[in-house]
Amino acid sequence: MSDKHDLETVTLTGGLTITRMGYGAMQLAGPNVFGEPRDRGEALAVLREAVELGVTHIDTSDFYGPVVTNRLVREALHPYSGITIATKVGARRGADGAWIPSLDPQDLQAQVHDNLDHLGMDVLDLVYLRLGSHEGTTDESLKAEFEALAELRDQGKIKHLGLSGVSSAQLTEAQTIAPVVAIQNLYNLVNRDDDALLTRAAAENIAFASFFPLGGFSPLQHGILDSVATRLDASPQQVALAWLLQRSTTSVVIPGTSTRTHLRDNIAAATLTLPTNAITELDTIATTHP
Residues with catalytic function: 64
Total Cβ atoms within 10 A of residue 176: 8
Contacts of 98 (CB under 8 A, 6+ apart): none
CA Rg value for the chain? 18
Question: What type of residue is 142?
Answer: L
Assign residue 212 a region (left: φ > 0; alpha: ψ between -120 and 50; beta: otherwise). Answer: left
Q: How far apart are CA 263 and CA 23, in angstroms?
A: 8
Alpha-carbon gap, residue 122 to 53, rounded angstroms: 26
The dihedral formed by the CA atoms of 103, 105, 111 and 115, expressed in degrees to the nearest 10: 110
Minimal CA–CA distance to 84: which of 58, 62, 64?
Answer: 58
